A = this chain, B = another copy of it.
């Protein structure tokens, strides 16, 4: 698969807010599909599984089967590739400083308001 085809899968997967929310849920620990269905109870199991399939095809989650359960793990490598693509190693420090500065300024503005 070409790099652009892989990127298309990643950005298509990230384009949906529910899929981003699912990755948020997996950030701190893996979850079984049942745990995710309980967490996103407003979606039926089939919809949750379709979203998981899109995330898995984009390599954003890695699924491991243990007995009757499927554990879904966040794979951070495609996320790291996004940041590496547009933030060079040398620029990363400057971007961090800018980000802190922006945070400080936002804080100043909101405390002034």
Contacts and interface: CB of A to CB of B under 8 A. Distances in A.
Contacts of A35: none
Given A4-B17, A11-B11, A82-B82, A87 B95 contact: no
Interface stretch (A44-52, A63-71, A72-80): A72-80
A6 to B, nearest CB: 11
A57 interface: no
Interface in A36-57: none
Interface in A79-113: 79-80, 82-83, 85-88, 91, 95-96, 98-99, 102
Contacts of A85: 24, 27
Contact of A79 (B4, B17, B77, B87): B87
Contacts of A7: 17, 20
User: Main SS of the interface on chain A?
Assistant: helix
A86 B77 CA distance: 10
A59 B99 CA distance: 14
A83 B82 contact: yes
A92 to B, nearest CB: 8
